[in-house]
Chain A
Amino acid sequence: MRPIEYARPETVGEAVELLSEHDGATAVLAGGTDLIYLMQKDVLDPPPRRLVDLKNIPELQDIRQQDDRLVIGACCTLEQIADSPLTAPLRALHDVIDGIRSIQVQQMGTIGGDLCHLPNCWYFRNGYGLLALNEGRSLVESGENRYHAIFGNQGPAKFVSASRFAPALIACGASVRIVGPQPDQQETVPLEYFYVAPKTNRQGVTILKPGQFLSHVIVPLARPLQTATYEVLQIEGLDWPLAAAAAALHVEGGVVRDARIVMGHVAPVPWIADAAARFLVGRSIDEDSAQRAGEMAVAGATPLSQNAYKVQLARTAVKRAVLKAAGLLEGGV
Chain B
Amino acid sequence: MAERVVAWKPRDKNTVFGKEIDRIDGIEKASGYAKYTADINTPGTLYCKLLTCPHAHAKVVHLDVSRAERTPGVRAVEVLKPVGSEIQWDGTIVAVVAADRPEYAEDGVRAIKVQYEVLEHFVDEEDLQTAKKLQRTKDLGENTKGDVEAALKQAKVVHRGYYGIHTISHCCLETHGAHCQWQGDDQLDVHLSTQNVSGTAGQFAGPLGLDAANVSITCHYIGGGFGSKFAADEWGLACARLAKKTGRPVKLMLDRATELKIAGTRPSAFAQITIAADASGRVIAWDSHHWGTSGIAGGTVRLSQIPYIFDFENRRRRATGLVTNCGPNRAWRAPNHPQLCALTDTALDDLAAKLGMDSYDVFMKNLDRVSNDKQDVYREEMRIAAELIGWKDKWHPHGKGGRGPIKRGLGMALHTWGGRAHAATCLVRVHPDGTVESLAGSQDLGTGTRTVIAVVLAETFGLDVKDVRVRIGENKYPRSGPSGGSTTVGGVSGPNRRAGLEALWKIFDLVAKEYGVDANSLEARDKKIWSNGKVVCSWKDACRLIGPMPLEVQGTGPKKDGLTSDGVGGVQMADVSVDSETGVIRINKLVCVQDCGAIVDLKTAKSQVYGGMIMGIAYALTEERIMDNATGRFINADLENYKLPRIGDIGELVAEMYQPDSEYRRGVVGLGEPPVISTGAAISNAVANALGVRVSVLPMTPQRVLAALQATS
Which chain A residues have a beta carbon within 8 Å of chain B's beta carbons? Answer: 1-2, 42, 101, 120, 122-123, 125-128, 134, 139, 142-144, 146-147, 232-240, 242, 306-307, 309, 312-313, 316, 332-333
A242 to B629, CA, bound (A): 22
Contact of A144 with B622 in the complex, beta carbons under 8 Å: no
Contact of A142 with B629 in the complex, beta carbons under 8 Å: yes
Q: Contacts A309-B583, A312-B581 hold; do A236 and B646 have CB atoms under 8 A apart?
A: yes
A235 to B649, CA, bound (A): 6
Closest beta carbon of chain B to A45's beta carbon, Å: 14
B660 within 8 A of A: no
Tell me the count of chain B residues lying within 8 A, CB to CB, of chain A.
42
Q: Contacts A144-B628, A235-B645 hold; do A316 and B622 have CB atoms under 8 A apart?
A: no
Closest beta carbon of chain B to A228's beta carbon, Å: 16
Contact of B638 with A313 in the complex, beta carbons under 8 Å: no
Contact of B406 with A143 in the complex, beta carbons under 8 Å: no
Contact of B646 with A235 in the complex, beta carbons under 8 Å: yes
A residues less than 8 Å from B621 (CB atoms): 234-235
Contact of B706 with A144 in the complex, beta carbons under 8 Å: no
B residues less than 8 Å from A237 (CB atoms): 645-649
Taken residue by residue from 686 to 713, chain B's Cβ proximity to chain A (1 for < 8 Å, 0 otherwise) reads as: 0000000000000001110011001000
Q: Which of A120, A239, A240, A306 has the most CB of B within 10 A?
A: A239
Closest 9 CB pairs of A and B: A237-B646, A236-B648, A143-B630, A309-B706, A316-B581, A1-B103, A144-B628, A139-B630, A309-B703
Q: Among A122, A242, A307, A333, which residue has its beta carbon within 8 angstroms of that of B636?
A: A122
Given contacts A122-B635, A313-B702, A313-B706, 20 further A-B contacts (CB under 8 A): A1-B72, A1-B103, A2-B107, A120-B640, A120-B641, A134-B631, A142-B630, A143-B631, A144-B626, A144-B635, A233-B584, A235-B621, A235-B622, A235-B645, A236-B645, A236-B647, A238-B646, A309-B703, A312-B706, A333-B406
Contact of B584 with A234 in the complex, beta carbons under 8 Å: yes
Q: Among A123, A143, A146, A232, which residue has its beta carbon within 8 angstroms of that of B584?
A: A232
Contact of B648 with A242 in the complex, beta carbons under 8 Å: no
Q: Among B110, B406, B628, B641, which residue has its beta carbon within 8 angstroms of that of A332?
A: B406
B86 within 8 A of A: no
Which chain B residues have a beta carbon within 8 Å of chain A's beta carbons? Answer: 54, 72-73, 101, 103-104, 106-107, 110, 405-406, 577, 579, 581-584, 621-622, 626, 628-631, 633, 635-636, 638, 640-641, 643, 645-649, 701-703, 706-707, 710
A237 to B581, CA, bound (A): 20
B residues less than 8 Å from A233 (CB atoms): 584
A residues less than 8 Å from B54 (CB atoms): 126-127
Contact of A143 with B638 in the complex, beta carbons under 8 Å: no
CB within 8 Å: A-B pair count: 103
Contact of B106 with A333 in the complex, beta carbons under 8 Å: no
Q: Among B101, B579, B582, B635, which residue has its beta carbon within 8 angstroms of that of A126?
A: B635
A119 to B705, CA, bound (A): 26
Closest beta carbon of chain A to B710's beta carbon, Å: 8
A residues less than 8 Å from B635 (CB atoms): 122-123, 126, 143-144
Q: Among B73, B631, B702, which residue has its beta carbon within 8 angstroms of that of A234?
A: B702
A139 to B633, CA, bound (A): 12
A residues less than 8 Å from B581 (CB atoms): 312, 316, 333
A238 to B640, CA, bound (A): 8
CB<8 Å pairs between A and B, sample of 25: A1-B73, A1-B104, A2-B106, A120-B640, A126-B54, A134-B630, A139-B628, A139-B631, A143-B635, A144-B630, A233-B584, A235-B643, A235-B646, A235-B649, A236-B645, A236-B649, A237-B648, A242-B582, A309-B703, A309-B706, A312-B581, A312-B706, A313-B706, A333-B405, A333-B579
A123 to B54, CA, bound (A): 12
A4 to B447, CA, bound (A): 44
A301 to B629, CA, bound (A): 24
Contact of B648 with A232 in the complex, beta carbons under 8 Å: no
Closest beta carbon of chain B to A288's beta carbon, Å: 15
A residues less than 8 Å from B583 (CB atoms): 309, 313
A residues less than 8 Å from B645 (CB atoms): 235-237
B residues less than 8 Å from A240 (CB atoms): 640
Contact of B633 with A316 in the complex, beta carbons under 8 Å: no
A2 to B648, CA, bound (A): 40
Contact of B649 with A126 in the complex, beta carbons under 8 Å: no
A61 to B707, CA, bound (A): 45
A residues less than 8 Å from B110 (CB atoms): 2, 42
Closest beta carbon of chain B to A234's beta carbon, Å: 6
Contact of B701 with A234 in the complex, beta carbons under 8 Å: yes
B residues less than 8 Å from A126 (CB atoms): 54, 631, 633, 635
A301 to B706, CA, bound (A): 17
A residues less than 8 Å from B579 (CB atoms): 333
Contact of B73 with A232 in the complex, beta carbons under 8 Å: no
A309 to B703, CA, bound (A): 6
Q: Contacts A142-B630, A144-B635 hold; do A232 and B702 have CB atoms under 8 A apart?
A: yes
B residues less than 8 Å from A316 (CB atoms): 581-582
Chain A residue with Cβ nearest B405: A333
A292 to B648, CA, bound (A): 32
A171 to B406, CA, bound (A): 28
Chain A residue with Cβ nearest B707: A309
Contact of B584 with A239 in the complex, beta carbons under 8 Å: no
Q: Contacts A125-B638, A232-B582, A316-B582 hold; do A242 and B702 have CB atoms under 8 A apart?
A: yes
Closest beta carbon of chain B to A73's beta carbon, Å: 27
Contact of A309 with B643 in the complex, beta carbons under 8 Å: no
Contact of A143 with B103 in the complex, beta carbons under 8 Å: no
Q: Contacts A1-B73, A139-B630, A236-B648 hold; do A146 and B641 have CB atoms under 8 A apart?
A: no
Chain B residue with Cβ nearest A127: B54
Chain A residue with Cβ nearest B632: A143
A240 to B640, CA, bound (A): 9
B residues less than 8 Å from A235 (CB atoms): 621-622, 643, 645-646, 648-649
Q: Among B630, B631, B647, B703, which residue has its beta carbon within 8 angstroms of that of A146?
A: B703
